[in-house]
């Protein structure tokens, strides 16, 4: 049984893996609260509605005894539906972050109706399943001291509102916002990114201007920081929820408007319009990719350089669970917007495969790296080898090693020769150091780690599709 690295901070319990199953240990307080919600039918309803991860109390006596022996001192255990892969907010598009924030607000409103609350509002409590956000940290639910105030509001702003404001008004990206800190940026840091005039503009005064001024006064020792109230006698929360509900609704509207107003620039989002394929070549490539995926019997596919996800959808249609990655934020945003409308077993991620997300947090292990989280049985690397060779300056052997690290079994690689129009475009203003890049060279280098299963030319194109098996 393996504890999940990112679950050690919660005093109410922790998440662990047993075989391929995911469990959570609960202390007496968390167990009592969640059993009440379960008995009232809320957990099942929220799971059906896609609000929280599917969760069941462990009641089978043999399994319960085994878990109790391995994790002594806990009152109960629940099993969660397994979610894979786990993604981080630095790997999301703008609309993904906004939808995750709106889901958090929706759950908080539901809890408020029950006299409950979320004690934290981190974006790491949200994951995406079939392109939809879902809440996973049920021990974040608590009986609050007050209903008129949400003491996780500051964290919500740091994790959802502030990054969207910085993307909109200051040109930041989510990777640079989230990677340095698991808890986002402070009010002071965010406020300093805006001019005085911008901070006090009508659209930012309540969310940036006033909190920034208050934080500066607290830091200067002129006022005391607000503190959470102690629970009322008898455990009953005080205050009326109307004020908090008004704040939650305002934030929901603001985040929605922000996301709708941000149109991330795309580098390759129109690739299908500018690439070297005509209709015949594109049809040939799609047919071959489908054949290769079926031949590989792929169940988990990593689509590298997925662009707007056309080939990810082919993989999903073949029955695979697909992780679709691209460094182009605008392209991933387009793909996510499409998944919203046409759901599929695809998880979009903003990832530069030549510089993937590192391990972050405590000991650089609290949130494992991309390479530690993702290990599919098939990697789809279409029209990316020339970008890795030229843009990332990776030798062919380094690309081979990267692919061998990523896949457990199969690799579908599209070889792009140097006389291809897109390859020529990449090296147009560079010294040509790529005359040695031939199909034969590619096969020789990859042959050190892979066995070639199939090799097919794409009709009406200089490109070749290769199916490898890892040796």
Tell me how far the alpha carbon of residue 42 is from its chain's centroid: 26
State how far the Cα of 323 lies from the Cα of 325, in Å rounded to an integer: 6
Q: Please give the pLDDT value at position 425.
A: 85
Give me the residue label for tokens 């979009």. Answer: 348
| Calculated CA dihedral for residues 257, 262, 268, 269, nearest 10 degrees | 20
Burial 3-22 (b: 16+ CB within 10 A, else e): ebbbbeebebbbbbebeeeb
On the 0-12 / 13-18 / 19+ scale of CB atoms within 10 A, 86 is middle
Where are the domains positioned within the chain?
Answer: 2-80, 89-261, 271-470
Can you give the pLDDT at residue 235? Answer: 64
Place of tokens 């911008």: 198
Residue 314's pLDDT is: 98
What does the alpha-carbon distance between residue 139 and residue 30 come to, in Å, rounded to a whole number?
6
Write phi, then psi, for 23 (nearest 5 degrees).
Answer: -125, 160
Report the chain (471 residues): mean pLDDT per 10 consecutive residues.
Answer: 84 92 96 97 97 97 96 96 95 97 98 96 96 96 94 96 95 94 93 92 91 87 62 69 95 96 68 64 96 97 95 97 96 94 95 96 93 96 93 94 98 93 80 84 97 97 96 95
pLDDT of residue 122: 97
Name residue 25's beta-bridge partners. Answer: 14, 77
| The predicted structure's pLDDT at residue 86 | 94
CB neighbour list of residue 400: distance below 8 Å, 6 or more residues apart: 445, 446, 448, 449, 450
Q: Which residue from 223, 168, 224, 178 is spatially nearest to 198, judged by alpha carbons?
A: 168
Number of other residues whose CB lies within 10 A of the CB of residue 330: 20
CB-based contacts of 431, cutoff 8 Å, min separation 6: none
Residue 320: per-residue pLDDT: 97
Residue 337, CB-side half-sphere exposure with 13 Å CA sphere: 16
Whether 327 and 352 have beta carbons less than 8 Å apart is answered as yes
Give Cα separations from 400 to 50, 288, 369, 441, 463 (angstroms).
Answer: 39, 22, 20, 12, 18
Tell me the chain's radius of gyration from C-alpha atoms: 25
Report the DSSP pairing between strands 464-470 and 450-457.
antiparallel
Alpha helices (runs of H) in 171-241, residue ranges in sequence order = 174-178, 187-192, 196-199, 210-219
- Which CATH superfamily hosts domain 271-470? Vaccinia Virus protein VP39 (3.40.50.150)
Residue 298 has what DSSP assignment? -
Phi, psi of 130 (to 5 degrees): 50, 40
3-state secondary structure of 23: strand
User: Smallest Cα–Cα separation from 370: which of 406, 398, 321?
Assistant: 406
Beta strands in 117-260 (DSSP E): 117-118, 126-129, 132-135, 141-142
The confidence score (pLDDT) of residue 210 equals 92
């Amino acid at each position: 049984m393996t504890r999940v690295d990112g679950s050690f901070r919660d005093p109410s319990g922790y998440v662990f893996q047993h075989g391929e199953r995911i469990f959570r240990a609960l202390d007496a307080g968390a167990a009592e609260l969640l059993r009440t919600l379960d008995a009232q039918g809320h957990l099942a309803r929220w799971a059906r509605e896609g609000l929280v991860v599917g969760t069941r109390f462990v009641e089978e006596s043999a399994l319960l005894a085994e878990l109790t022996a391995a994790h002594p001192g806990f009152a109960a255990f629940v099993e969660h539906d397994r979610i894979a892969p786990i993604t981080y907010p630095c790997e999301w598009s703008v609309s993904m972050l906004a939808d995750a924030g709106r889901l958090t607000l929706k759950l908080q409103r539901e809890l408020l109706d029950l006299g409950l609350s979320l004690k934290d509002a981190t974006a790491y409590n949200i994951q995406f399943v079939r392109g939809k956000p879902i809440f996973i940290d049920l021990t974040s639910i608590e009986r609050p001291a007050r209903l008129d105030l949400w003491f996780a509001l500051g964290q919500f702003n740091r994790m959802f509102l502030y990054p969207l404001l910085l993307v909109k008004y200051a040109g930041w990206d989510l990777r640079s916002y989230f990677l340095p800190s698991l808890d986002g940026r402070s009010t002071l840091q965010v406020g300093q990114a805006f001019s005085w005039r911008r901070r006090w503009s009508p659209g930012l005064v309540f969310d940036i201007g006033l909190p920034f001024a208050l934080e500066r006064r607290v830091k200067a020792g002129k006022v005391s920081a607000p503190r959470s109230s102690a629970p009322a006698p008898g455990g009953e929360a005080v205050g009326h929820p109307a004020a908090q509900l008004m704040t939650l609704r305002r934030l929901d509207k603001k985040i929605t408007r922000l996301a709708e107003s941000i149109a991330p620039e795309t580098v390759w989002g129109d690739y299908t319009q500018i690439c070297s394929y005509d209709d015949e070549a594109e049809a040939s490539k799609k047919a071959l990719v489908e054949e290769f995926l079926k031949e590989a019997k792929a169940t988990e596919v990593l689509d590298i350089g997925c662009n707007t996800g056309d080939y990810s959808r082919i993989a999903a249609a073949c029955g695979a669970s697909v992780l679709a990655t691209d460094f182009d934020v605008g392209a991933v945003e387009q793909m996510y917007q499409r998944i919203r409308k046409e759901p599929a077993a695809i998880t979009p991620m903003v990832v530069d495969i030549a510089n993937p997300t590192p391990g972050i947090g405590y000991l650089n292990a609290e949130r494992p790296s991309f390479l530690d989280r993702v290990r599919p049985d098939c990697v789809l690397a279409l029209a990316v080898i020339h970008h890795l060779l030229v843009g990332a300056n990776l030798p062919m052997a380094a690309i081979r090693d990267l692919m061998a690290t990523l896949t457990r079994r199969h690799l579908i690689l599209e070889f792009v020769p140097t006389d291809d129009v897109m390859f020529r475009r990449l090296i147009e203003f560079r010294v040509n150091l790529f005359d040695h890049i031939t199909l034969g060279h590619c096969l020789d280098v990859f042959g050190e780690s892979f066995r070639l299963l199939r090799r097919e030319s794409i009709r009406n194109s200089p490109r070749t599709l290769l199916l490898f098996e890892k040796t």
